[in-house]
Amino acid sequence: MKKKPHECHICGKGFIQAPTLTDHIRTHTGEKSFICNVCGKSFVTKHALGNHINMHKIRDGNVDAESDFKCKICHKIFSSKTILKNHMFTHSEKEFLCSECGKKFSTKALLDSHVKVHSGIKPYICEVCNKAFSQKNSLQKHNLTHTGEKPVLCIICGKRFSQKGHLTYHMRRHSGERPYTCTYCDKTFNHTGSLKVHIRIHTGEKPFVCDICSKGFYDSSSMKKHRKIHESGLNLKMPVH
């Protein structure tokens, strides 16, 4: 393993090269020295600026058809190799099947990790709120909700996230990728959760019910907003069901 002699004085993270440390420190200070000469938007790193400029090229139709950022399977063009790499997972064959729920995984390691969810055993306990988890990485992700730490950085716009999965969904906003399609109307979504809520519009399912007036909602956020009407003490007439 290579030594990382260049250490961040703020968080202690080490880097092999000094320029990489310099870019990293900007994520703490918020300094954005690299400015796009097309739209004036500024970025933390030169690499992030380069990815952003590629977005302009794609929108203006100035990207070579044989671009390194082009998917060889579906021919979509992306603004960076990182986004293209994430996209390629949507094409990977998932041959490892969970016998409990039928969910498929691209590697055995992912399947083995998933199977623990069905065991019901949750040995990993949060020291702050005592919430239990079946997987160690789930506890580690949960701990970030207490610390407020957001170690995952979007190299395009500089936005930070607590989990890599959140970054994956965020990247689709930059790429325009919407891999999840509604089987009822062919509308597409960049998140499975959004598709699930949308399908309820077709089925009429309203699983979130107000415990005061029994009004049903497609998603929890709508129900919580509605619940505040009761909590505010407003005497509004509720629809009869």
Q: What is the C-alpha separation between 128 and 146, in angstroms, rounded?
A: 8
pLDDT for the residue 68: 60
* Domain spans in the chain, listed from the N-terminal domain onward: 6-91, 207-241
Give the three-class secondary structure for 65: coil
pLDDT, position 60: 62
Per-residue pLDDT at 143: 82
* pLDDT tens digits in sequence order for the chain, 241 residues long: 557 788 877 777 777 878 777 877 777 777 777 788 777 777 777 777 777 777 776 666 555 544 567 777 776 766 667 777 777 766 766 678 888 777 777 778 778 878 877 877 888 888 888 888 887 878 887 887 787 777 778 877 878 887 777 888 888 888 777 888 888 888 888 888 888 889 988 888 888 888 888 888 888 888 888 888 888 765 444 454 4
Task: Dump the DSSP string for the chain.
Answer: -----EE-TTT--EESSHHHHHHHHHHHH----EE-TTT--EESSHHHHHHHHHHHHHHTT-S-TT-TTB-TTT--B-SSHHHHHHHHTTTS---EE-TTT--EESSHHHHHHHHHHHH----EE-TTT--EESSHHHHHHHHHHHH----EE-TTT--EESSHHHHHHHHHHHH----EE-TTT--EESSHHHHHHHHHHHH----EE-TTT--EESSHHHHHHHHHHHHTT--PPPPP-
pLDDT of residue 66: 45
Q: What is the pLDDT of residue 151?
A: 75
Fold classification of 6-91 is Double Stranded RNA Binding Domain (3.30.160)
